């Protein structure tokens, strides 16, 4: 049981696909201009991760090694096409926003990584738990980045939905660069840096102000 | 990591002299005095507020980052102050002060210390700050106010989008960023720096020369207009010549300067932005490591036997 | 296992997976295709009806140069024309629907269907404050107020509306519903024309002449 909990938490936090593994950078950089887009992209990717994880885990003894990559890709592409069709039928607004980035989930290296390195080597239950952990980890990371960029660039959260929140008032002059592609790189860089600080257990806030302590650490690292 | 952190790495040539980084920085600030005076004369006390805001914010950011990184605080070397002042001089006179604060923080933190601090930065920090503001607050960054004693009482666009008499451009009686309007004041400072040998004549001459030649060929308004309008003069003398972000070899400097001129003219004449100085220098900054690699003198004795 | 013995299994498994995938997708496509078509139809309908306020229904008209729709009222009468047209904006194509009044040829409304302009700048072309400027116009001679920092995007929309207004002369040949209206007006017989009408007619002839030269490849 403990092992399964680990599988879940790993994807969510200590092996977060975005902030630690830096996998699937194309959607991370391209569609996180708003929290809405980030959330939807994260959920779409999670669904594919989930479906492909189950199928590829079940088929692990049937698929011969030599054709495993093409087989995985066909399975992944099937689930991506399902997401694409369903979102265009039921969520036309957001589907149009994300447009070609949904079909591109097929080549998101996070999904192939999980199928190849994990799902095809473990039982279905572990594959499901892993897919849920990584999927949620990916989703919160994208929503978080999208949220930061949206607040800075528009002053709102969850634009384009009915529950849009006006975070900053009329006085706020939007910082355009946050929602431009350059803003994606800068925001991601800063968040990854903060994540590293938080994750580094030997690093305490005191070190930041402790003068030479940080330097010594750097030298011995 | 090995214990090399205490070594000071500076760019070639490694000539032993009385000059220190700090001394050069303050000499450049001295050379900026005519420009700052001109900005006060033409744009009033608002110019002083902007200069103070940027200078002080840049220095505070420097202290904060160096404390955070556990590095010795080098606030007294004047480099942060210089970055702040140069940034201020590239801003529109009526820019809200909080935007200037923001730009200065970006210039020092993202422009300089992310790369490792003074001497390691790839891009001119002041220009990084300005680029960040240009991309963030397009409207505020392109609203120009007419100077005091100007001919026009209202000018909303940079002279690059309109007409202006060359004599006004030369003296500085046109709309524009704080320090870029008066070619006269900039030239005064530039001549002082040349006399002291802190900047290489090849960069301003190569840059301005390229722009002059190309605008004679393709520019509608002619070379004299393009030379004195916009931020070209200021950029060529005070920003492209930055020691850290320009090539170290003579040949490399020619390439760098001509490249800057070329990109500036392309953006000004064919591009969507009226001004190309900012991005041309940033783009060429990016090429400096490559230029240096290909223009370093060949090792003696390896010259091709040709004649 | 020797290599040559594995070959058929590789082919078999991959083929089966592909077939399974195809079956699943056929099923899903069957379910979603009508919904997707409906969404697309709804989009066009919303756009046409929003630029031709009096219309309750619409039909597409064959046209050489424009995507042309007629707005119909309850009695199936043509009450307005909706023209979909696009041009290059700052970062990509801007797709706009322009509504024209049948009789007066005035712009009734302008709707931006899709664009990829910079958020916060060019993207403001979708705002009512900008689009509203075109309402009631017969020409673009009087300058519109451009969005600060987004000259190119603004001018792109302006260009579309201008093209549509100028092209409006052509629509008469292509829209059967309109011919009758125009024929009716001719039947009014000889009468004194107001100065404005004469100017309008002259402009009409000029723009018609321009279209003819444009299409015949002249300068």
Angle between helices A68-90 and A35-58 (to 10 degrees): 140
Instruction: Assign C85 to helix, strand or coil.
Output: strand
Higher pLDDT, C183 or B85: B85
The shortest C-alpha distance from A63 to chain C (Å) reads: 6
Residue B162's pLDDT is 57
Contacts of B109 (CB under 8 A, 6+ apart): B61, B65
Query: How many whole angstroms separate alpha carbon A40 and alpha carbon C70?
Result: 37
Residue B272 to residue C148, Cβ atoms within 8 A: no
pLDDT tens sequence across C23-77? 999 999 999 999 999 988 888 888 888 888 888 888 777 777 777 888 888 877 7
Consecutive H or E run containing C156: helix C151-174
Q: Per-residue b/e over A63-74, b at no fewer than 16 CB within 10 Å? A: bbeebbeebbbb
pLDDT at residue B77 greater than cutoff 70: yes
**Within a domain: C8:** no
Whether the Cβ atoms of residue A19 and residue A191 lie closer than 8 Å to each other: yes
ipTM rounded to 2 decimals: 0.81
pLDDT 10s digits, A130-186: 999 999 999 999 999 999 999 998 888 988 777 888 888 778 888 888 888 889 999
The answer to whether C121 contacts chain B (CB < 8 Å) is yes
C92 touches chain B (CB under 8 A): no
| Nearest-10 Cα torsion for B31, B36, B42, B47 | 160
Which of C85-112 are b and which e, b meaning 16 or more Cβ less than 10 Å from the residue's Cβ?
Answer: bbeebbeeebbbbbbbbbeebebbbbbb
**Pick from C90, C149, C152: CB nearest B139:** C149
A178, closest residue in chain B (CA to CA): B136
Cβ of B135 under 8 Å from any chain C Cβ? no
* pLDDT winner (highest mean) among A175-179, B67-71, B151-155, B202-206: B202-206
- C65 part of a folded domain: yes
Q: How far does A174 lie from chain C, in Å, by closest CA?
A: 8
How do the domains of chain B map onto residue ranges? 21-292
User: Could you report the per-residue pLDDT of C123-164, keeping only the tens digit for each?
Assistant: 888 888 888 888 887 777 777 788 877 888 888 888 888 888
Percent of chain B surpassing pLDDT 70:
84
Chain C residues inside the 8 Å CB shell of A68: none
- Is the pLDDT reported for residue B1 higher than 50? no
| Distance of alpha carbon B222 from alpha carbon B220, whole angstroms | 6
Which candidate, C47, C176, C189, C167, places its Cα nearest to that of C105? C167
Contact across the interface for A175 and B137, Cβ inside 8 Å: yes
Question: What's the CA gap between A106 and B270, in Å, rounded?
Answer: 39
Q: Does domain B21-292 have CATH number 1.10.3430?
A: yes
Cα of C149 to nearest chain B Cα, Å: 5
Cα C174 to Cα C61: distance, rounded to the nearest angstrom = 7
Residues B47-63 as b or e (16 or more Cβ within 10 Å = b): beebbebbbebbbbbbe
Work out the burial of residue C180: count CB atoms within 10 Å of its CB; fewer than 13 is exposed, 13-18 middle, 19 or more buried.
exposed
Mutation site for B-interface testing, chosen from A175, A181, A186 by largest number of B Cβ within 10 Å:
A175
Placement of tokens 């092992």 in the chain? A3
Q: Which residues pair with C59 in a beta bridge?
A: C70
* Pairing, β C93-101 against β C78-88: antiparallel
Over range C104-110, report the average pLDDT.
83
CB-nearest to A211 from B70, B110, B132 is B70
Chain B residues lying within 8 Å of C90, measured CB to CB? 272
pLDDT beneath 50, residues of chain A: 211-221
**What's the pLDDT band for B155 if we cut at 50, 70, 90?**
very low
pLDDT of residue C180: 47
Q: Does A100 touch chain C (CB under 8 A)?
A: no
Q: Does a structural domain hold residue C97? A: yes
The range of the structural domain enclosing residue C172 comes to 57-190
CA angle at A88 for the pair A85 and A93, rounded to the nearest 5°: 160
d(CA B165, CA A71): 71
Among B140-149, C24-33, C168-177, the range scoring the smallest mean pLDDT is: C168-177
pLDDT at C50: 84
Tokens 């090849």 belong to residue? B202
pLDDT of residue B286: 93
Q: Is residue C51 part of a domain?
A: no
For residue B70, which residues of chain A lie inside 8 Å, CB to CB?
A: 207, 210-215, 218
Task: Report pLDDT for C76.
Answer: 78
Cα distance between residue A171 and residue B299, in whole Å: 61
Give the number of beta-carbon pairs within 8 Å between B and C. 7
Q: What is the distance in angstroms between the Cα of A82 and the nearest Cα belonging to chain C?
A: 7
Residue C117: CATH number of its domain: 3.90.1010
Which carries the bigger pLDDT value, residue C178 or residue A99? A99
Of residues A90, A176, B44, the one with CA closest to residue C32: A90
**Does residue B13 have a cis peptide bond before it, meaning omega lies within 30 degrees of 0?**
yes
Tens digit of each residue's pLDDT (9 = 90 or more) over B208-218:
999 999 988 88
* Range in B260-274, B286-300, C185-199 the model is least confident about: C185-199
Domain count, chain C: 1
Chains in touch with A (≥3 Cβ pairs < 8 A):
B, C
Residues in a beta bridge with C68: C61, C83
Residue C41 falls within a domain, yes or no?
A: no
């Amino acid at each position: 049981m403990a092992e399964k909990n680990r599988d879940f938490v790993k994807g969510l936090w200590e092996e977060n696909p975005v902030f630690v593994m830096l996998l699937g950078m194309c959607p991370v950089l391209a569609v996180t201009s708003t929290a809405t887009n980030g959330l939807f992209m994260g959920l779409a990717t999670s669904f594919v991760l989930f479906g492909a994880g189950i199928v590829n885990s079940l088929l692990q003894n049937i698929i011969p090694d030599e054709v495993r990559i093409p087989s995985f890709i066909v399975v992944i592409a099937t689930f991506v096409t399902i997401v694409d069709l369903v979102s265009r039928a039921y969520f036309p607004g957001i589907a149009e926003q994300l447009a070609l980035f949904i079909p591109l989930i097929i080549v998101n290296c996070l999904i192939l990584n999980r199928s190849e390195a994990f799902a095809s080597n473990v039982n279905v239950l572990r594959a499901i738990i892993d897919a849920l952990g990584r999927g949620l980890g990916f989703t919160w990371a994208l929503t978080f980045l999208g949220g930061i960029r949206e607040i800075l660039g528009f002053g709102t959260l969850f634009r384009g939905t009915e529950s849009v929140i006006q975070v900053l008032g009329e006085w706020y002059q939007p910082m355009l660069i946050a929602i431009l592609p350059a803003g994606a790189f800068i925001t991601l860089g800063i968040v990854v840096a903060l994540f590293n600080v938080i994750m580094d257990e030997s690093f305490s806030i005191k070190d930041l102000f402790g003068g030479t302590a940080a330097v010594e650490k750097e030298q011995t690292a | 990591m090995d214990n090399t952190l205490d070594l000071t790495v500076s760019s070639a040539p490694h000539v032993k002299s009385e000059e220190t980084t700090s001394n050069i920085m303050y000499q450049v600030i001295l050379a900026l005095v005519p420009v700052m005076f001109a900005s006060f004369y033409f744009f009033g006390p608002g110019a002083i507020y902007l200069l103070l805001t940027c200078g002080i914010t840049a220095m505070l950011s420097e202290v904060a980052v160096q404390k955070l990184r556990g590095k010795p605080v080098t606030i007294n070397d004047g480099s942060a102050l210089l970055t702040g002042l140069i940034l201020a001089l590239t801003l529109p006179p009526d820019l809200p002060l909080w935007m200037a604060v923001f730009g200065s923080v970006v210039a020092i933190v993202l422009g300089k210390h992310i790369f490792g601090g003074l001497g390691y930065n790839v891009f001119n920090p002041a220009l990084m700050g300005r680029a960040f503001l240009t991309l963030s607050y397009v409207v505020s960054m392109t609203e120009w106010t007419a100077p005091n004693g100007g001919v026009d009482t209202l000018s909303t666009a940079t002279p690059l989008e309109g007409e202006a008499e060359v004599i006004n451009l030369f003296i500085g009686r046109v709309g524009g960023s704080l320090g870029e309007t008066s070619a006269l004041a900039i030239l005064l400072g530039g001549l002082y720096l040349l006399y002291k040998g802190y900047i290489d004549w090849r960069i301003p001459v190569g840059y301005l020369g390229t722009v002059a030649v190309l605008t004679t060929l393709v520019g509608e308004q002619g070379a004299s207009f393009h030379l004195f309008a916009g931020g070209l003069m200021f950029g060529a003398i005070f920003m492209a010549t930055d020691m850290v972000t320009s090539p170290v070899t003579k040949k490399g400097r020619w390439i760098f300067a001509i490249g800057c001129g070329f990109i500036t003219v392309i953006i000004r004449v064919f591009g969507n932005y009226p001004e190309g100085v900012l991005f041309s220098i940033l783009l060429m900054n990016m090429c400096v490591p490559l230029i240096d690699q290909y223009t370093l003198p060949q090792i003696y004795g390896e010259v091709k036997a040709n004649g | 296992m020797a290599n040559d013995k594995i070959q058929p299994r590789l082919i078999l498994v991959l083929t089966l997976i592909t077939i399974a995938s195809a079956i699943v997708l056929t099923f899903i496509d069957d379910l979603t295709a009508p919904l997707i078509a409906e969404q697309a139809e709804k989009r066009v309908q919303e756009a046409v009806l929003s630029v031709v306020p009096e219309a309750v229904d619409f039909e597409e008209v064959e046209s050489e140069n424009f995507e042309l729709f007629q707005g119909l009222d309850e009695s199936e009468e043509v009450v307005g024309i909706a023209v979909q047209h696009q041009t290059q904006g700052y970062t990509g194509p801007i797709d706009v629907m322009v509504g024209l009044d049948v009789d007066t040829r005035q712009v009734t409304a302008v709707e931006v269907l899709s664009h990829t302009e910079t958020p916060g700048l060019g993207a403001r072309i979708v705002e009512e404050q900008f689009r509203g400027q075109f309402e009631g116009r017969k020409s673009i001679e009087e300058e519109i107020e451009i969005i600060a920092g987004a000259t190119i995007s603004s001018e792109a929309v302006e260009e579309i509306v201008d093209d549509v207004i100028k092209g409006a002369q052509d629509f008469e040949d292509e829209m059967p519903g309109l011919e009758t209206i125009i024929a009716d007006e001719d039947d009014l017989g000889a009468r004194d024309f107001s100065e404005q009408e004469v100017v309008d007619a002259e402009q009409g002839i000029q723009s018609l002449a321009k279209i003819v030269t444009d299409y015949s490849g002249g300068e």
